[in-house]
Chains A and B, each alone.
Chain A
Amino acid sequence: AQSVTQLGSHVSVSEGALVLLRCNYSSSVPPYLFWYVQYPNQGLQLLLKYTTGATLVKGINGFEAEFKKSETSFHLTKPSAHMSDAAEYFCAVIYQKLVFGQGTRLTINP
């Protein structure tokens, strides 16, 4: 069965610092991979997705993620955190159905 693991349920960084949110998946075939963001009291919205082709994927709000097949990883990064990035982030993988990781809450310190 497909599974997604997000390392760290809570990540805290200073404003302007690098954001790194980790995601590993279990799959024997190349999956489709997604990162979603959830702002407080809102639904999820798509940050970026990997389907095929270039392994470095750029998304909205300056986020990007790199698909590494050998490491079965799809980590999310942003070079410089902004206060507005505070939210919960979900990694998800789809083979037949969408399977979500448990989420990582990102806090930005001023």
Chain B
Amino acid sequence: NAGVTQTPKFQVLKTGQSMTLQCAQDMNHNSMYWYRQDPGMGLRLIYYSASEGTTDKGEVPNGYNVSRLNKREFSLRLESAAPSQTSVYFCASSETWAGNYEQYFGPGTRLTVT
């Protein structure tokens, strides 16, 4: 039982390049999330998927797209990376999107855009 896994762990991009961050969970959770973590700002929600087949914008969606590939997998795509997207990205999952259900986090992807 691996929980939430993310690939890659580290990535360096040049401005304008594109990439996809992968996330998978093996807990049969319905809901999945992408956050970014920046110093002094906590975690901010980029996009979430309340259930398979649905995605919604979070607090900071600009410059990102997501795909809920199936119940297990939720990917985050940067179409044209910008230095402002330098951050640590966390994927999380929970049994459902509302209520008191704990979110389980992956180990993170550290992205640098030069």
Contact = CB atoms under 8 A, between A and B. Distances in A.
Interface residues of A, number: 22
Interface in A75-110: 90, 94, 96-98, 100-103
Contacts, number: 49
B74 interface: no
Q: Is the interface of B mostly helix, strand, loop or mixed?
A: loop
A34 B105 contact: no
Secondary structure of the A contact surface, majority rule: strand
B105 A43 contact: yes
Interface stretch (B12-20, B65-73, B94-102): B94-102
Contact of B100 (A49, A96, A100): A49
20 contacts: A32-B99, A34-B102, A41-B107, A41-B108, A43-B4, A43-B105, A43-B106, A43-B108, A49-B100, A51-B100, A90-B42, A94-B99, A96-B97, A97-B45, A97-B58, A98-B45, A100-B43, A102-B40, A102-B41, A103-B42
Top 5 A-B residue pairs of the complex, sorted by shortest distance between their CB atoms? A43-B105, A100-B42, A51-B100, A32-B100, A44-B105
Interface of B: 4, 33, 40-45, 48, 58, 90, 92, 97-100, 102-103, 105-108
